[in-house]
Amino acid sequence: MPEFNEERAIAHGSGGYAKLLSQRARTDILVMNDLAMAPLSDLARRDLFEVVDDRHGRRSVIVASQIPVGSWRTAIGDPTLADAILDRLVAALARSCTASAGAERA
């Protein structure tokens, strides 16, 4: 998600945010890597909701995170937006969890 955060910040500043959303909505499979690894700003939460909502029921989203799924709501922050985002992400959920080598040794 660090790349998306940078892209959306540039897009907001240059007036190209609608174009970025349109591109994300048309991508067949969107991969969100490292979801909520850093605290999300209010704007980042709203942007994440827009992307997930635009794709809901139309296109695939793959989410990768080192944060356990049960902690995503807290990691996203705002409870209302977190619920809306997670409702859309888990509507057609296929879940695969793996443990890293470091976690297996712990």
What DSSP assignment string belongs to 54-65?
HHTTTSEEEEE-
Kindly state which CATH superfamily the domain 2-98 is placed in: P-loop containing nucleotide triphosphate hydrolases (3.40.50.300)
Residue-range domain boundaries for the chain? 2-98
The Cα–Cα gap between 89 and 80 comes to: 14
Question: Strand 29-33 vs strand 60-64: parallel, antiparallel, or unpaired?
Answer: parallel
Single pTM value for the model: 0.73
User: 67 and 98 in contact (C-beta within 8 Å)?
Assistant: no
| AA identity, residue 66 | Q
User: 47 and 83 in contact (C-beta within 8 Å)?
Assistant: no
The Cα–Cα gap between 14 and 64 comes to: 29
- pLDDT at res. 100: 62
The Cα–Cα gap between 82 and 39 comes to: 13
Per-residue pLDDT of the chain (106 residues; tens, 9 = 90+): 567 667 777 888 888 878 888 887 788 898 888 887 878 889 889 988 998 998 888 888 888 888 888 888 898 989 999 999 999 988 776 666 666 655 554 4
The Cα–Cα gap between 21 and 67 comes to: 25
